[in-house]
Structure 1
Amino acid sequence: MSEPIISVANVGKKFGGLVALKDVTADFKEGQITAIIGPNGAGKSTLFNILSGTLKPSTGTLKFRGVDMAGMPQHDYVHRGIARSYQITNIFPNLTVLENVRVAAQAFQSRLNIWTDRNAYEDIEEKAFAALASVGLSERVGTPAKFLAHGQQRALEIAIALVADPALLLLDEPTAGMGPEETREMVALIEKLAADRTILLVEHKMKMILGLSDRVLVLHHGQLLADGTPKEIQANVEVRRVYLGQNDGYA
């Protein structure tokens, strides 16, 4: 059996006197789409931020491909192969689609060396175009990002993450604010991207999650309530009691 791409063991997180996570242990297999779900305040965002390096756990360990990530700055997570999107779209609205991705590609390659001419990096433009092709934005390269539809802006943010060529892509509510059609397009994009990388996502749309994911983790009050296939999660009486009945559609 292959080693997990990322794993957490007895991870906890406190914010002052508030316990946001307690003793969460989970291994994430390479090549799978895993969803993290739970009611509001369950600890989803906290766990997600720990997995991406945005937060450091108060207790427990985090390993990526067997390497202990404790104490590493967030940019090291990116350079080791972990990239993420955010719940709120995080782009430069006045830059073009291509410029948004090119800036990210140059930052990743040069580590923000402002004295290096971008033309010295021959593959930056190629990486930017490849990332945009991956998310279906090749025809919009010259469009200012603020003029994209909401779903296209979310796709642009994913393209920005892809220039780092991550082995693990974390998506924070990738369909937030989308209607049914944009949601279906995002699901198709995630399925396409999953052919080449491992994907973890936080989402609230249960019909989408159960149809898309290979595995689902359910958090409740900061603890791991259930971990299994979508069918196993649907059949779990306790999960249905605390969560599944609250949101059961694309809308």
Structure 2
Amino acid sequence: MWDPAQYLTFADHRGRPYGELIGRVGASSPRTVADLGCGPGNLTVGLRDRWPDARVVAVDSSPEMVAAARDRGLDAQVADVATWMPASDVDVVVSNATLQWIPTHRELIARWAEVMAPGSWLAFQVPGNFEAPSHRAIRTLAASAAWRDRLGGLELRGGETVEDPVGYATILRRAGARVDAWETTYLQELEGPDAVLEWVTGTALTPVRDVLDDAGWDAFRADLAPVLRDEYPEHAPGRTWFPFRRVFVVAEIVG
């Protein structure tokens, strides 16, 4: 279960890559713009400003997120991005920090590129920090003697989860697209106590939360907190540096 409020705790940091991604899309007057993995819709509303004459549709697998997006006046629907396919009038597909949750997303983006019309655009970004100390700490704790009985069968993602820019560019070029791909490491300054724990609670820890009861969840977070404090010490009271690598891809379909 996704928590829109928790996800929005660091809305500015989560929103910056979205703006940089959309800024590289060259579509001038798309008919329909689809946002896949729209979350609570706080970023999707910006697509209406960018393309005021387009129909903007939003998709997310979380009913809680879709409800929050609808509260913002968006045409949002609960659907599985892994099986979604663009209709013939979809000229822009956007996906922000969603495709990393789909093991088959490499094949999926190739299929989208193959069926989208020439002149349409596909833009997505995924986190590239699966080997960062934060994620390694989660995997190590889940596999420890204290937790392996409850979490040992849980598949927590590693570096193989996503491609680097070259990998994605190769996939989409073969599918008939002109590709602009890059990566950026943001040095984010998070505020508050146990800020990195709060950050991963909104995203990376959701699979753990799904399989633990309330007491187990509180205990797991309590065990993880000091590890993350050691890995990411405060550089000033209540302020923590958190490097975050992201991979961006913007592809124009040329046929």
User: Normalized against structure 1, the TM-score is what?
Assistant: 0.29
User: Normalized against structure 2, the TM-score is what?
Assistant: 0.28
